[in-house]
Amino acid sequence: MISYGELTRKTPIVLVCFWSVNSDRSIDELNAINKQYDKWKNLASCKLLAVCVDQGNVLNRMRPTAIMNDWTFDVCGDPNGDLQKALHVNNLPQSVILKKDQILYQQSGFEAGTENYLFSKVQTLAAGK
């Protein structure tokens, strides 16, 4: 298991997607990203970390949800909400693009196609523009 700090030091651009097993839009967003994630990794030096914000018994459904959807990216939990608070995440789904612990972009909500806009931001920021 890799820590959040280690991940952000090793990867130039980190896309952190906050989600809940009870949020259909969160799962829809991660499924849409998952369909393109392998291509994204090849086109931009980035890493995706899907952070589940659920607590208690609901958090136990995180791993089965990821397995059921065949997600190919890292999935972890934030049961105490520490990362969620540190990055000022209020609405799910919410995606945050980071570069060396600096927030470069945030996006809340999901509609079909917004994953493409999110990736265009990742590409632009990875290219240093």
Contact predicate 3/14, CB 8 Å = no
Assigned token pair, 98: 């980071």
Domains in the chain: ranges and CATH: 4-126 (3.40.30.10)
| Residue 123 DSSP code | H
Closest CA to 110 of 85, 92, 83, 88: 92
| Predicted model pTM | 0.90
Give the pLDDT confidence score for residue 52 in this predicted structure. 96
Beta strands in the chain (DSSP E): 13-19, 46-52, 74-77, 94-99, 102-108
pLDDT 10s digits, 71-108? 999 999 999 999 999 999 999 999 999 987 789 999 99
pLDDT 10s digits, 116-129? 999 999 988 888 75
Does the pLDDT of residue 1 top 50, yes or no?
no
pLDDT 10s digits, 3-59? 556 656 667 788 999 999 999 999 999 999 999 998 888 778 788 999 999 999 999
Assigned token pair, 52: 């589940």
